[in-house]
């Protein structure tokens, strides 16, 4: 059984690797709740299948699924995708799964942050979230990976990006939001991130993507592609509410250096034309009081930066945008010449409030034997 660890990753010589470092595999959760995913979650399930199959070309994929949907998921997914039974409240593995850290000997450990559904009773997306809050530990247990638990620090995996070389990027909008850790000031939050992610420098973007229901997670506005190189969600339309948010991030990052003293290379990745929920889509969602409404005309926080970096592939959300889809593919092919860029039509995922990065969590490659004893 995996052990709960004392101390911090920093004290023990562990750091969170960049997503571009080698993976053991990827974790996902099967979407099911009909008050978030339209039409009984069937269209979302098909989109998740496409994402899982695309990633499985490059690394091992584990799909976690409730007992109720186990046979359904097993039937839709190829035999080389592992399907395990696990309870959850929804399907956002990036945010509820463990954040993995590694040391120089290639050992892997997990971090189990507190999860409160992106804001608890203040502005969270649903209640309850108790099953989601247990997932990080359960994943570590399944993998026999020892883990650190923070009893009193709320964080989601989508709220952090690291370069694996001492730098993390976060947003103030999310990390300093009163619905996360109101008992801590910025310096205390920064210190906790340094101790657990094993980094020396935190870069604080003011905001993320307009109307992002996570309080503006960093993983929707930027992505670390390699140390010193990021993509930034951008718009040339100065009248778009996203413009000042992306401009502020660009200005801030342009005058900063990372932990190694490097200026960042910033690639602007234009957002798609606004994705608005249609009347038909809205009517397909079961309305209940304890979840977010999905109203016709609502704009979803769509961005191409929400891609997943697999071992030799990039799994990129597409929106059937006549201009920006192909431009995003072209840019990412140039930034990642050693990886294949695979676009997946992701409207059904963004309708649920996130995208491909939000529904996946990478597990770094283990270089040492940490086997079941
Ligand atoms: O974007 C994410 N990381 C998760 C979005 C959750 C939305 C809840 N409905």
Q: Is 315 helix (H, G, I), strand (E, B) or coil?
A: strand
Give the per-residue pLDDT at 369: 62
**Tokens coding 223:** 């992505």
- Tell me if 214 CB under 6 Å of ligand 1: yes
- Tell me if 36 CB under 6 Å of ligand 1: yes
- Tell me if 213 CB under 6 Å of ligand 1: yes
**Tokens coding 280:** 């038909």
* 35 CA distance to ligand 1 middle (Å): 13
Q: Which domain holds residue 364?
A: 4-368
Looking only at the bridges linking them, the beta strands covering 299-300 and 82-85 are unpaired
* 118 CA distance to ligand 1 middle (Å): 8
Report the number of secondary-structure helices (H) and strands (E) in the chain. 12, 19
Buried b (16+ CB within 10 A) or exposed e, 23-60: bbbbbbbbbbbbbbbbbebebbbebbbbbbbbbbebbb
* 65 CA distance to ligand 1 middle (Å): 18
- Identify whether 44 is part of a domain: yes
Looking at the CA of residue 212, tell me the nearest atom of ligand 1. Answer: 1
Positions annotated as catalytic residues are 358
Looking at the CA of residue 354, tell me the nearest atom of ligand 1. Answer: 1
Give the per-residue pLDDT at 373: 38
* CATH number of the domain that residue 166 is part of: 3.75.10.10
Q: Are 335 and 249 in contact (CB under 8 A)?
A: no
With 0.85 as the threshold, say if the pTM is over it. Answer: yes
- Identify whether 373 is part of a domain: no
* 93 CA distance to ligand 1 middle (Å): 10
- Identify whether 66 is part of a domain: yes
- Tell me if 272 CB under 6 Å of ligand 1: no
Sheet holding 201-205, edge to edge: 161-162, 167-171, 201-205
Q: How far apart (Å, rounded) are the C-alpha atoms in residues 66 and 58? A: 25
Q: Are 177 and 266 in contact (CB under 8 A)?
A: no
Number of domains comprising the chain? 1
- Tell me if 158 CB under 6 Å of ligand 1: yes
The pLDDT profile of the chain, 373 residues, written as one tens digit per residue, is: 899 999 999 999 999 999 999 999 999 999 999 999 999 999 999 999 999 999 999 999 999 999 999 999 999 999 999 999 999 999 999 999 999 999 999 999 999 999 999 999 999 999 999 999 999 999 999 999 999 999 999 999 999 999 999 999 999 999 999 999 999 999 999 999 999 999 999 999 999 999 999 999 999 999 999 999 999 999 999 999 999 999 999 999 999 999 999 999 999 999 999 999 999 999 999 999 877 889 999 999 999 999 999 999 999 999 999 999 999 999 999 999 999 999 999 999 999 999 999 999 999 999 876 544 3
Residue 315's Cα: distance from chain center in Å?
A: 13
Q: Is 222 helix (H, G, I), strand (E, B) or coil?
A: strand
Give the per-residue pLDDT at 370: 58
Residue 172 burial (CB count, 10 A): 16
Residue 201 burial (CB count, 10 A): 18
Q: How far apart (Å, rounded) are the C-alpha atoms in residues 23 and 223? A: 17
CA quadruple 10, 61, 304, 42: dihedral, nearest 10? -130
């Amino acid at each position: 059984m995996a052990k709960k660890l004392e101390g911090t990753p920093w004290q023990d010589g562990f750091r969170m690797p960049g997503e571009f470092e080698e993976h053991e595999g990827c974790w996902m959760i099967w979407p099911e709740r009909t008050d978030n995913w339209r039409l009984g979650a069937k269209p979302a399930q098909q989109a998740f299948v496409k994402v899982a199959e695309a990633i499985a070309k490059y690394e091992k994929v584990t799909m976690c699924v409730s007992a109720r949907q186990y046979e359904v998921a097993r039937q839709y997914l190829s035999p080389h995708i592992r399907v395990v039974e696990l309870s959850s409240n929804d399907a956002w593995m990036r945010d509820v799964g463990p954040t993995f850290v590694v040391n120089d000997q290639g050992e892997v450990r997990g971090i189990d942050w507190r999860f409160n559904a992106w804001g608890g009773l203040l502005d969270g997306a649903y209640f309850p979230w108790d099953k989601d809050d247990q997932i990080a530990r359960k994943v570590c247990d399944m993998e026999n990976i020892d883990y650190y638990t923070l009893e009193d620090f709320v964080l989601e995996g989508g709220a952090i990006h690291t370069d694996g070389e001492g730098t993390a990027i976060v947003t103030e909008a999310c990390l300093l939001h009163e619905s996360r850790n109101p008992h801590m000031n910025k310096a205390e939050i920064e210190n906790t991130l340094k101790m657990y992610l094993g980094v020396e420098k935190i870069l604080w973007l003011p905001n993320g993507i307009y109307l992002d229901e996570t309080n503006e997670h960093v993983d929707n506005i930027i992505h670390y592609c390699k140390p010193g190189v990021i993509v930034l969600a951008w718009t040339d339309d100065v009248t778009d509410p996203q413009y000042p948010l992306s401009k502020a991030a660009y200005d801030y990052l342009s005058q900063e250096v990372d932990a190694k003293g490097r200026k960042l290379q910033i690639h602007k990745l234009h957002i798609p034309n606004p994705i608005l929920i249609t009347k038909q889509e809205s009517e397909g969602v079961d309305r209940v009081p304890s979840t977010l409404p999905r109203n016709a005309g609502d704009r979803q926080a769509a961005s191409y930066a929400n891609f997943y970096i697999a071992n030799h592939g990039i799994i990129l959300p597409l929106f059937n945008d006549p201009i920006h889809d192909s431009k995003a593919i072209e840019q990412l092919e140039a930034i990642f010449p050693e990886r294949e860029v695979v676009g997946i039509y992701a409207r059904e995922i963004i309708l649920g409030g996130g995208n491909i990065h939000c529904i996946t969590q990478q597990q770094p490659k283990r270089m040492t034997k940490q086997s079941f004893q």
